[in-house]
Amino acid sequence: MQLRNNSDHYGWLAILLHWGMAILVITLFFLGKYMVDLDYYDPWYKAAPDLHRSFGVIVATLLILRLVWRLSNVHPAMIGKPWEQQAARWVHRLFYALIIAVVISGYLITTADGQGVSVFNWFEIPASFQGFENQEDIAGEFHEWFTSILILLVGLHALAALKHHFFNHDTTLSRMLGFSDSEQIEQGQIEQEISQTTSYNHHNSKE
């Protein structure tokens, strides 16, 4: 498998970044929900937020890498009806925007009292902004809202991927898993062309 994307395949780096970030973001969501309910005497009371913040910084780093890679690579042609392609494009943009918003709000919660963000006790990102009153609570509210919207969107995105795979039998999911071969892609494209021609004929016959 090649490193870079081409017009119908994802390269291995885009695939690795996609699934690596997907696993991290979904795990961080559940870790976040779990840790805010812990009581002071729980052994995870301190360790869980430490891990949450450290992996959050890893997500931020991967996001930068991914954006650079995304902008310096072609994007494989999208499969599906025009409205589906447009919806997918907006969901992908929203993912990037929401992850940035989640990371910034997380940073603002942690640094509200002047404390830096320690990454696996290895190095610390300094607190550089204590700008508004009740920063911790307000940023916390935003963090909760952004992460809820993010996880809803992930559910929708995963359902759309499964629909492409099991109902449309196209290569949307398999090429993101690195399984696609050119025969399958041709088959997907032929099916797409047939369905577009059929809906075009159907539309014209009604006029």
Footprint on this chain of ligand HEM (rule: CB under 6 A) = 14, 18, 21-22, 25-26, 28-29, 32-33, 36, 49, 52-53, 56-57, 59, 70, 76, 78, 88, 92, 95, 99, 102-103, 106-107, 109-110, 117, 140, 143-144, 147, 154, 157-158, 161, 172-173, 176
Count of CB atoms within 10 A of residue 11's CB? 18
Shortest spacing between CB 199 and ligand HEM, in angstroms = 20
Q: Which alpha helices (DSSP H) does 36-81 contain, by range?
A: 44-71
**Minimum separation from the CB atom of position 203 to ligand HEM (A):** 25
Read off the tokens for 61: 């780093």
CB of 119 to ligand HEM, least distance (A): 9
Q: Closer to ligand HEM by CB, 135 or 161: give it.
A: 161
**Given the complex with ligand HEM, which of 113 and 193 has the nearer CB atom?**
113
Q: How far is the CB of 187 from ligand HEM (least distance, A)?
A: 16
Long-range Cβ contacts of 200-207 (<8 Å, 24+ apart): none
* CA-based nearest residue to 21, from 49, 52, 62, 55: 62
DSSP states along 4-37:
S--SS---HHHHHHHHHHHHHHHHHHHHHHHHTT
* R_g over Cα of the chain: 21
Using the minimum distance from each CB to ligand HEM, give the nearer residue, 23 or 201: 23
Q: Between residues 37 and 207, which has the closer beta carbon with respect to ligand HEM?
A: 37
Contact between 156 and 66 (Cβ < 8 Å): no
Structure tokens belonging to residue 41: 């005497």
Nearer to ligand HEM, 182 or 201 (CB): 182
> CA 55 to CA 26: how far, in whole Å?
12
Nearest distance from residue 100's CB to ligand HEM, in Å? 10
- The residue among 163 and 204 lying less far from ligand HEM, judged by its C-beta, is 163
Query: What is the 8-class DSSP label of residue 130?
Result: -
Question: What is the smallest separation between the CB atom of 205 and ligand HEM, expressed in angstroms?
Answer: 31
